[in-house]
Every structure is written in C-alpha cells, then in structure tokens.
Chains A and B, each alone.
Chain A
Amino acid sequence: LAKTTQPISMDSYEGQEVNITCSHNNIATNDYITWYQQFPSQGPRFIIQGYKTKVTNEVASLFIPADRKSSTLSLPRVSLSDTAVYYCLVASFGSASKIIFGSGTRLSIRP
C-alpha cells in the first residue's frame, strides 16, 4: 500500500487560496488519489479524487504531476468553515483494496 506524507498543520486566512501537498512516492499504476475532509466529531467526507493531471469540482481542485509521486489539493478562497483535517489517501480499485488513512493535515483558517 502506498504510504502518504503530508504536513501536520497549516494556517491561512479567509479569502486566501490554500494548497496542501501530499507525497506518495510508492504509488502503483492502478492507484487513485483521494482527499477527505473531517470536521470535529464527524466522520470524514469525500472531497475529490483523481488519477493524473488536474481534476476540479465545486469544492476543490486536485493537481497531479506526470510522475504521480505527489498531489496537491487546492482550496480556493477559504472561509472559516474550511477549518478541518484533510486526509490524502491512495487506494486501488481492486476489490480487496484497503483504505488506509494517514495522519492528515490540520488546516486552521483565521479571520
């Protein structure tokens, strides 16, 4: 299973763009990259998923370079409500695939 490494914490201010980078040097060919968001006392919530290049949805963008050894979650114009823990995961679509969480990045947004 590809292990992921991401910063323990980040701080930013309302209205700024926040980029959280995740390293996954041992990613396999059939692995996808997925990001989850977790608020206190709640279960994680899916944000975005990608395989290569760039993916964008209404919440975030995910940038994946050609070698796929890292990925960057981009949150445009954050607000106080984006304060949460963000997890980067790598998992394959295989039927026996386990989903392993790392430690996550604790993002704090200030006014």
Chain B
Amino acid sequence: NAGVTQTPKFQVLKTGQSMTLQCAQDMNHEYMSWYRQDPGMGLRLIHYSVGAGITDQGEVPNGYNVSRSTTEDFPLRLLSAAPSQTSVYFCASRPQGGSLNTEAFFGQGTRLTVV
C-alpha cells in the first residue's frame, strides 16, 4: 500500500492563480482532511470529509474548496492564491469513526509558495 499520496511536492504560484492539490489514499479510509502548517507553527485544519459526498469546514476554510467524489481522493482547490496561503499542506486519512483505531496517516506534504 502507498498510504497517503500528495502531489505535487512543491509548487510556486503567482498571486491570483488557482490550482488543485491532489491527495489520494489506498487504505479505504472514510475520513480525510487537509491541514496547513506555517513555519514554526502547528497544523490547522482547513476542510475535512467523513465520506464520499460529505465535506465540512475546519478552522481556516476561507480561500479553499474541497470535494469528495470518491473514497480515495480528496483534492484541495485554491481559488485565487494569495501570499498568505504560502504554507506546507498536509493531507491525512483515518478509519471511520466508531472504529477503535483512530490513527491518522499523513502524506508527505505539499510545499506551496505564492509570490
């Protein structure tokens, strides 16, 4: 199993551009989420999903959209990139709530710079 795969690993955008960060998992996990991590800071939840077709906002959702058409994929879309969105983005997945296993698996991150 590959676990959680994020693409791209690095990206530079110009202010105002849009792009989609990809996240895929092969563990059949229902729960997926996106975080951003600014230098020297903790992770902040952007959006999350508890299953295909179901998404909800996290702590810092503004400027981002998500969709969950399949169990495997959870893309994060930046609508109009701003320098404040320069950060490292992590995608995570974990088994469905109700399981005794709450271990979340994280991808390796996407380092995004907006100039």
Residues of A that sit less than 8 Å from B by CB: 32, 34, 36, 41-46, 49, 85, 87, 91-104
A residues within 8 A CB of B88? 41
Which residue of chain B is the closest to A93 with respect to CB atoms?
B97
Q: Contact string, B1-32, partner A, CB cutoff 8 A, digits 1/0?
A: 00010000000000000000000000000110
Q: Contact string, B23-44, partner A, CB cutoff 8 A, digits 1/0?
A: 0000000110101000001111
Q: Which of A45, A91, A92, A102 contacts B42 (CB 8 A)?
A: A102
A101 touches B44 (CB 8 A): yes
Give the interface centre of A42, A49, A92, A98 by most chain B CB atoms within 10 Å: A98
Give the interface centre of A36, A42, A43, A92 by most chain B CB atoms within 10 Å: A43
Residues of B that sit less than 8 Å from A by CB: 4, 30-31, 33, 35, 41-45, 48, 50-51, 56, 58-59, 88, 90, 92, 94, 96-100, 102-109
Report the Cα distance A37→B72, complex, angstroms: 25
- Can you list the 5 inter-chain pairs with the closest CB atoms, starting with the nearest? A43-B106, A95-B97, A101-B43, A46-B103, A103-B42
Report the Cα distance A100→B33, complex, angstroms: 10
Q: Which of B56, B97, B105, B108 contacts A42 (CB 8 A)?
A: B108
Which residue of chain B is the closest to A95 with respect to CB atoms?
B97
B102 touches A32 (CB 8 A): yes
B102 touches A91 (CB 8 A): yes
B106 touches A44 (CB 8 A): yes
A-B residue pairs in contact (CB < 8 Å), sample of 11: A44-B90, A95-B30, A95-B31, A95-B50, A95-B51, A96-B50, A96-B97, A97-B31, A98-B33, A98-B45, A101-B45
Report the Cα distance A36→B43, complex, angstroms: 12
Which residue of chain B is the closest to A102 with respect to CB atoms?
B42
B58 touches A43 (CB 8 A): no
User: Nearest chain B CB to A79's CB is how many angstroms away?
Assistant: 23
Which residue of chain A is the closest to B111 with respect to CB atoms?
A41
19 additional contacts, CB 8 Å, given A32-B102, A95-B96, A99-B104?
A: A34-B103, A43-B92, A44-B104, A44-B106, A49-B102, A93-B99, A94-B98, A95-B30, A95-B31, A95-B50, A95-B98, A97-B31, A98-B33, A99-B48, A101-B35, A101-B44, A101-B45, A103-B42, A104-B42
